[in-house]
A and B are shown apart, each in its own frame.
Chain A
């Protein structure tokens, strides 16, 4: 019976895409895309990277359907927790940092958080996934060294990304802070962002 319910619900969600045809989403650009916002922050000898993934209509509908394991069309806390628990490791492995020339897979600092934006149903709405990563900074990491961030989250979805560096005192520098992936290519290199650690205020790169 459960299998039958799941099948029916799956077909129903799939039907949303198929039956409605190409005009189902008013704004296919943003409905298909995921917005990746990467926020870099250094806290002592720890580098924290916050990743906020905003799912627009198509992506949100797909992920909401995955959350709704009892297929009743309503997403509950328990379902979100299970969804997050099952995928955390995968998300963790889809993100890498290179510090001091060494690639590392950062750890999750907290459990990923899903914000359904006050809409708890399986519909083509928006939602956000907050991922909090951290990695220990190697002792050899110096002002002038580079952090490379590789983001392979949802590699099959078109993406628009923003790298956000701390404002105020200028500790970081990046040539490129936004990117687009219009046509995902599984064989292509994943987006990589580079940020230069300028060091604490008062130290110039020449002091390196």
Chain B
């Protein structure tokens, strides 16, 4: 027998009414029932409508939905309690919340009723279901009988491969009323016929067609202007549709996946490792764009690196209309005017064509990083992120932005750490000497380049081991102490405290990091023009500070970070000046600390929320010499740290004299570790067990040469002990304890 779709339409209000009556009538009795349990699926349903599909209920109900969601979840926990009184109270709260949620759902204008009680499934939609845009939801009351109420949830992605794209599958309970919500993603514009499939309510899934429509989109024409020139510039852009809380890719958002060799976070959607909301995905857009967007409320986010304020602006896109928007992020500081130019020492990105270079150039301009050390990466097996070449001829320069090829190689993970090099003229890589990092450092220096260690902030990959071999030999120029917004100074301070000079640097490590320049190193060029050579010269002098947010100035007399001050007398007073400041909107308060030999000797914090700036000026006697630096912590959790100024008295070392025993013991222990892994590798190699482990096989083969280098390092440390003995009689009482603030 054929049935028309509307034959049993009259039953819907009857069944609906019965269901409501059945639910509401015994409400008090349910609350008193010690065996009360929540309707199946209600927790997930409540969370979904509160969190993902609030638009169905309107803005004014969102707070109530959130509240009910919390109450239901707390009640669920209470119902599991062993305490009968708590259980009863939870049952009462839960019962009321269930009733309230059902009442909200029943009132929802988007609710559709699906009747499965007749011979054919039917839905009470009189026309297509209107969705707000390319995402939305179906809210259904699936009637399959008079049993207890159930809830269910589902998702459908209409961009799924053909054959699945229009299927919306939802579970329902047999013989019962089920409230169901199905999220829809990537819904095509205009009218789409969905295949609604209700599973579990009968022996066979109930299938029925359901049309949905999306409104005609509007358009957004967005231009981001430079605060100085007023001309369009690249920027990091975020487009967030308030209706579903999801971001969309701008039409010209650059997809970096292929240039990342499919390594790391191989996409152009870049959430920075910075405090919210910068940790949400932004796309690099090289210039103005024009794109279709679903109508409704949107949030535009614009970021242009740390020196600009972040813009978040709410807009409304109207169906069929174009919104022209021009935004001009305000620069809160121009470090170039102070003589400081930003760089990122650790950017992985393939550059094999002009197009590759243009895309990366757009990114560094969007984040306003003036010099990017674009590093080809290697391990003992292969290389990644290929470059066209190295040296000045292969620098990519656009106005005052420079991409300069460098390398991150050698890198050993379980052995002795990762190294970086800047300003090289050729890649230095020899896997037969892969563990002899000094050979690379020497070759880099011979090319006029700079050598350093990556990930020193975290101490990853046992980097302390090779640092113990090569830092005291003065083979190393810089170390990364800031990465992923993590300022890590333990290793840095240990080596400084031994009297070893090291320049503070920072690198984002994209594509593993969030975005270029999220941490950065500033080099002081003063009045010099900005060129790669001048930047590297300044960096080589140690005229740097690193930051993920606040800015720093630091002088000891006239000396900059990285400079050495020679003093003849321990009584000679030095004038210390430091200033830290941050973006008024986001970084208040800023705390500034002066660190000598790793201990805070002065600190101050900004007090005006509108002006997060603080200065410290004081005199400090030179005493026996020391290293002294400034660091800052902003209220949003971002950091900054300078390279120290080295105060040297009468040729004595600037080390932390009263802790030398512990410092030398730590280095000796690091060398012991290398000797141990060499011995283990050589034992396994002798037994023929390293044929598939090239790292340890090469360590075994190169072990003797590395042992010689360790022996040489031990000689240096022994010499330091004798220097300490000779200095002892000349030194004053140890200054480290005097005047230090309590940590």
Contacts and interface: CB of A to CB of B under 8 A. Distances in A.
Contacts of A27: 263-264, 377, 512
A105 to B, nearest CB: 9
A76 B379 CA distance: 35
Interface in B261-275: 261, 263-267, 269, 273, 275
B320 interface: no
A167 B636 contact: yes
B312 to A, nearest CB: 13
10 contacts: A21-B692, A26-B263, A35-B484, A77-B155, A110-B50, A110-B51, A118-B267, A164-B279, A168-B588, A180-B460
A66 interface: no
Contact of B635 (A29, A57, A167): A167
Contacts of A170: 588-589, 635
Given A22-B695, A39-B276, A164-B637, A109 B47 contact: yes
A206 interface: no
Given A22-B694, A76-B160, A85-B44, 5 more contacts: A107-B73, A110-B47, A111-B47, A167-B276, A178-B485
B581 to A, nearest CB: 16
Given A23-B382, A26-B384, A134-B70, A125 B413 contact: no
Contacts of A46: 70
A129 interface: no
Contacts of A163: 637
A117 B265 contact: yes
Most-contacted residue by chain B among A85, A109, A163 (CB, 10 A): A109
A36 to B, nearest CB: 12
Interface in B139-181: 153-157, 160, 169
Contacts, number: 123
Interface of A is mostly: mixed
B74 A111 contact: no
**In the complex, the 5 A-B pairs of residues with the closest C-beta atoms, listed nearest first:** A23-B381, A77-B155, A167-B636, A110-B47, A30-B512
A204 interface: no
A76 B484 CA distance: 31
Given A29-B455, A77-B157, A107-B74, A117 B47 contact: no
B279 A37 contact: yes
Contacts of B461: 28-29
Contacts of B459: 180, 182
A182 B460 contact: yes
B48 A160 contact: no
A52 B271 CA distance: 12
B155 to A, nearest CB: 4
A26 B70 contact: no
Contacts of A118: 267, 269
Given A26-B263, A29-B455, A178-B486, A164 B276 contact: yes
Interface residues of A, number: 45
Nearest to B633: A177
A136 B74 contact: yes
B586 interface: yes
Contact of A160 (B74, B458, B587): B458
Contact of A108 (B73, B265, B273, B279): B73
Contact of A125 (B266, B587, B694, B695): B266
A129 B154 CA distance: 19
Interface string A163-206: 11101111000000110101000000000000000000000000
A136 B78 CA distance: 13
A177 B51 CA distance: 28
Contact of B379 (A26, A57, A182): A26
A148 B645 CA distance: 38
A137 interface: no
B85 interface: no
Interface in B40-74: 44, 47-48, 50-51, 69-70, 73-74
A182 B464 CA distance: 14
Interface string A22-64: 1100111110000101010000001000001000110000000
B352 interface: no
A126 interface: yes
B609 interface: yes
B92 to A, nearest CB: 17
B326 to A, nearest CB: 27
Contacts of B486: 160, 162, 178, 180
B21 interface: no
Contact of B156 (A37, A77, A178): A77
B458 A180 contact: yes
A167 B586 contact: yes
A162 B73 contact: no
Contacts of B694: 22-23
Contacts of A76: 160
Contacts of B458: 160, 180, 182
Interface in A149-171: 160, 162-165, 167-170
Interface of B: 44, 47-48, 50-51, 69-70, 73-74, 76-77, 153-157, 160, 169, 261, 263-267, 269, 273, 275-276, 279, 377, 379-382, 384, 413, 418, 455, 458-461, 484-488, 509, 512, 586-589, 609, 635-637, 692-695
Nearest to A173: B635
Contact of A164 (B70, B154, B267, B275): B275
Contact of B273 (A78, A132, A162): A162
A46 B380 CA distance: 51
A109 B377 contact: no
Contacts of B50: 110
A132 to B, nearest CB: 8
Contacts of A81: 153, 155
B637 A177 contact: yes
Nearest to A23: B381
A167 B585 CA distance: 9
Contacts of A28: 413, 461
B203 to A, nearest CB: 21
Contacts of A132: 51
Contacts of A182: 458-460
Given A29-B461, A110-B50, A165 B266 contact: no
A45 to B, nearest CB: 11
Contacts of A22: 413, 693-695
Contacts of B48: 110-111
Nearest to A28: B413
Contacts of A180: 458-460, 486, 488
A122 B693 CA distance: 26
Contacts of B382: 23
Contact of B264 (A85, A126, A177): A126
Contacts of A23: 379-382, 694
A117 B77 CA distance: 33
Contacts of A126: 264-266
Nearest to A76: B160
B74 A162 contact: no
A90 to B, nearest CB: 16
B484 A160 contact: yes
Interface string A126-145: 10000010101000000000
Most-contacted residue by chain A among B153, B261, B263, B267 (CB, 10 A): B263
A57 B418 CA distance: 19
Contact of A21 (B157, B487, B636, B693): B693
Contacts of A52: 279
A162 B485 contact: yes
A206 B376 CA distance: 55
A117 B263 contact: no
Contact of B69 (A57, A78, A109, A168): A109
B484 A56 contact: no
Contacts of B609: 169
Nearest to A108: B73
A77 B170 CA distance: 12
A55 to B, nearest CB: 11
A180 B693 CA distance: 27
A5 B485 CA distance: 44
A56 B263 CA distance: 10
